[in-house]
Amino acid sequence: MLPERRTVGALLAHLAQAMPQQEAVVLPPRRLTYAALYAQATAVACGLWRLGIRPGEPVALLLSNRPEWIMVALGCALIGVPVVAISTWSRRVELEYVLDHSQAVALVTLDRFLGADYQALLTEIVPEVAQHLPGQLGATRLPALRELIVLGQPALAAARGFDEVLALGRNLDAAVVCTASTRVQPTDVLYVLYTSGSTARPKGVTLTHAGCLENGFNIGERQHLTRADRLWLAVPLFWSFAAANALMALITHGGTVVLQERFDPEEAVRLIATERCTVYYGMSHMAQAMLETPAWGRAAPRSLRTGLTIGTPEEMALTMYGLGVREICNVYGATETYGNATVTDAHEPETLRLHSQGKPLPGMQLRIVHPETRAILSPGEVGEILVAGYVTSGYYRDPENNAQAFDAEGYFLTGDLGLLDAEGRLHFHGRLKDLIKSGGINISPLEVETYLMTYPKVQYAAVVGLPNTTKGEVAELAAVWDRLEHSPVRCIILTGAGERAFSAGADMRGDLSADPEMARIVNHALLKHHPLSKPIIAAVNGDCVAGGLELLLSTDIRATVSHARFGLPEVHWSIYPFGGATVKLIQQIGYVHAMELLLTATLIDATAAAQIGLVNRVVPTEELMPWALATAATIAANSPTAVQAVKQQISTTMAEQALAREALDQALGDRVRASPHFTEGVTAFRHKRQPHYP
């Protein structure tokens, strides 16, 4: 299908003619063939044209993984309109920034998704949407925005229904769109994808038609894709991993995209099995979640063949052997490199795919340089990874970051560390950039801190990443507590990044020695023996287990979302929860509840956590942070001297009991770590299997 068709519209028209009855997009029970997909994309393009949207004018897309996402994106591509993909996790600050910075002339959005009411958010940003007629927005804050198109139930005066736009398009001669499509150039922008980086604001990465198609085709070739392949896609379409990588790899090979609107492991297992999916695009936590579901035991899919994932050799092996994706490919890349710059070949030996990220794709050039001297390094030497070839032409309306993103020869500076071996394969070694990596997502600490500081009552915000059991990272959290203790802050809110986890504690692939120095640092970081005098509010946004629950026990007022789970599963893996966690648990929820939680090593849901007094209340996701901020404001309005005195009186008494048992804790921990059960438990955890204790 390449290279003669170098725009997405031209490729789609070809597919509709060459394989009209081939399934293109599936979200059961909905099924679109390539002919139907082309017809729907053309209808979208006609509707947008009737609204006065012309080539080069960006259209923002705020949709979940639904066929409409792909229909709108391809409709925009047909007439040369760049698509600004917006995260469905966006809240007011992010949404306003992206709409403003991108200068989007239209927004196509769901009415609501996962508790987020997007029309309410828009009303906060642009009050005019509740007053003005469609097409006459005239928004003061977003002057470029002219049209609001809602999929679902439009509730605003300025909103048009999605079906209304399709109906408008029926009154336009389709030849207009065909003519516009012939004028789209391969170098025209297809996507503007906003991604976190080491700056306070997201950067808009521009990706062209030709780059997406050609690099996507090459990614598909490494997987040996054909039109018979069916992709399971639960990762969000607003990620480059989906929009610029998975989608392009499949459509350039005439395959089928099977959508899952949001990841749910039970549903994923059923969907993959029912639809006979052959291609897996996912992260290790998704693989783990699927393997742990009852559905996997009842009807484990056997159709998966290849796909892409990232992670350690152990995480790669989990997907390769656990899920049975024996031809899974390891990758390296970034949004700026059209998703992937290197990909292992699906037919290469397993050890190469487990332990390297593969050779550069056709059209990609990699260079390893010394981070300080910038000298080009020889094979085997670790340095910063630079990429040229299929890389972004620049960040959208961002000359300052563009000046810093490329060297004099046009190589993109990734900020990542790695080496090229003698055969030209890349081995990734870590990140130079100040980013937190969570579930495959880049999270900018500075961006989150800047957002938190927009709240009038927030005086100080600190975001810290805690991968593995690295002393430096844990010590940084301890240092944050020290700074907060001596700051003018009156109340602290503690929450997790993203929506999957509040904290899951330490990674047991790291140091489990619990030597006295490491124990001291961890105890201080988790506030086990020396509590803060400032009140701490816990906004539990996801799973809270192991060390995460121990940290929760050091907070004072707690609310949780309904999907969070709680537990101390250490004994299942023959780990002893040292540092007084057991004492605190009994103090706070009572002997019977504490012993059940500790000895069964099971996880309980949010409702049960509230019933036993582990948290104060369960709140909807969208109300979690407003509740936390309102509670903090109430506390901050009281006498800080009296508030801190009350907390110190109670928390010090509780901590003294835990501290008095420190020597016993260390001795019991040493006994557990010296036992053969400890070796079996940790080995089982690292190999993703259940332990066996004879």
Mean pLDDT of the chain, nearest integer: 86
User: Residue 661 corresponds to which amino acid?
Assistant: R
List pLDDT tens digits, range 549-583: 888 888 899 999 988 899 888 888 888 775 566 77
The mean pLDDT of 614-620, rounded to a whole number, is 93
pLDDT at 491: 86
The enclosing domain of 136 has a CATH number of: 3.40.50.980
Measured distance CA(668)–CA(688) in Å, rounded:
26
Catalytic choice (485, 570, 596, 662) = 570
Q: Which of 101-105, 222-226, 667-671 has the lowest mean pLDDT?
A: 667-671
In a domain, 540, yes or no: yes
CB atoms under 10 Å from CB of 664, counted, come to: 10
Told to judge if 449 belongs to the known catalytic residues of this protein, a careful annotator would answer: no
Measured distance CA(586)–CA(317) in Å, rounded:
39
In a domain, 463, yes or no: yes
Last residue within a domain, chosen from 156, 184, 212: 184
Give yes or no for a contact between 673 and 555, defined as CB atoms under 8 angstroms apart.
no
In a domain, 629, yes or no: no
In a domain, 630, yes or no: no
Task: Kindly tell me if the per-residue pLDDT of 446 is higher than 60.
Answer: no
pLDDT at 312: 82
Catalytic choice (164, 499, 550, 622) = 550
Token digits of residue 291 = 């393997």
CA torsion, ordered 187, 192, 194, 198, to nearest 10 deg: 30
Task: Kindly tell me if the per-residue pLDDT of 444 is higher than 70.
Answer: no
Told to judge if 570 belongs to the known catalytic residues of this protein, a careful annotator would answer: yes
Give the range with max mean pLDDT: 52-61, 496-505, 516-525.
52-61
pTM for the predicted model, two decimal places:
0.69
The enclosing domain of 646 has a CATH number of: 3.90.226.10
Residue 134's nearest CA partner among 157, 166, 101, 165 is 157
In a domain, 269, yes or no: no
Looking only at the bridges linking them, the beta strands covering 147-151 and 116-117 are unpaired
Last residue within a domain, chosen from 128, 152, 184: 184
In a domain, 679, yes or no: yes
pLDDT top residue among 416 and 83: 83
Alpha-carbon distances, residue 96 vs 281, 391, 413, 449, 497 (angstroms): 30, 27, 29, 17, 20
Alpha-carbon radius of gyration of the chain: 26
pLDDT at 351: 94
The dihedral through the CA atoms of 520, 521, 526, 532 has a sign that is positive
List pLDDT tens digits, range 647-665: 877 777 666 666 666 667 6
pLDDT at 689: 81
Q: Provide, rounded to the nearest whole percent, the portion of the chain with pLDDT above 70.
A: 83
Q: How confident is the model at residue 526 (pLDDT cuts 50, 70, 90)?
A: low
Residue carrying structure tokens 């994932």: 309
Measured distance CA(47)–CA(267) in Å, rounded:
34
Residue 452's nearest CA partner among 493, 483, 501, 502 is 493
Q: How confident is the model at residue 518 (pLDDT cuts 50, 70, 90)?
A: very low
What residues make up the domain containing 551?
Answer: 455-622+639-686
Q: How confident is the model at residue 33 (pLDDT cuts 50, 70, 90)?
A: very high
Q: Which of 187-191, 337-341, 579-583 has the lowest mean pLDDT?
A: 579-583
Measured distance CA(618)–CA(558) in Å, rounded:
9
* Domains contained in the chain, number: 2
In a domain, 595, yes or no: yes
Q: What are phi and psi of 658, to 5 degrees?
A: -70, -40
pLDDT at 510: 44
674-683 burial by CB neighbour count: b if 16+ within 10 A, else e?
eeebbebbbe
Region of residue 543 (phi > 0: left; psi between -120 and 50: alpha; otherwise: beta): beta
Last residue within a domain, chosen from 141, 167, 184: 184
Task: Kindly tell me if the per-residue pLDDT of 387 is higher than 70.
Answer: yes
Residue 364's nearest CA partner among 329, 382, 338, 345 is 338
Partners of residue 558 on adjacent β-strands: 538
Angle at CA 131, nearest 5°, toward 127 and 134?
105
Give the range with max mean pLDDT: 51-60, 293-302, 548-557, 618-627.
51-60
Measured distance CA(220)–CA(252) in Å, rounded:
8
Alpha-carbon distances, residue 619 vs 176, 551, 581, 636 (angstroms): 51, 20, 26, 22
Alpha-carbon distances, residue 211 vs 44, 90, 114, 189, 208 (angstroms): 24, 27, 33, 9, 5
Partners of residue 426 on adjacent β-strands: 358, 420
pLDDT at 472: 44
Measured distance CA(145)–CA(166) in Å, rounded:
20
In a domain, 317, yes or no: no
Looking only at the bridges linking them, the beta strands covering 365-369 and 383-388 are antiparallel
Cis before residue 535, ω within 30 degrees of 0? Answer: no
Alpha-carbon distances, residue 532 vs 311, 546, 555, 615, 652 (angstroms): 36, 21, 9, 19, 9
Give yes or no for a contact between 79 and 175, defined as CB atoms under 8 angstroms apart.
no
CB atoms under 10 Å from CB of 405, counted, come to: 21
Task: Kindly tell me if the per-residue pLDDT of 51 is higher than 90.
Answer: yes
The mean pLDDT of 52-65, rounded to a whole number, is 97
pLDDT at 495: 84
Task: Kindly tell me if the per-residue pLDDT of 388 is higher than 50.
Answer: yes
Measured distance CA(317)–CA(35) in Å, rounded:
39
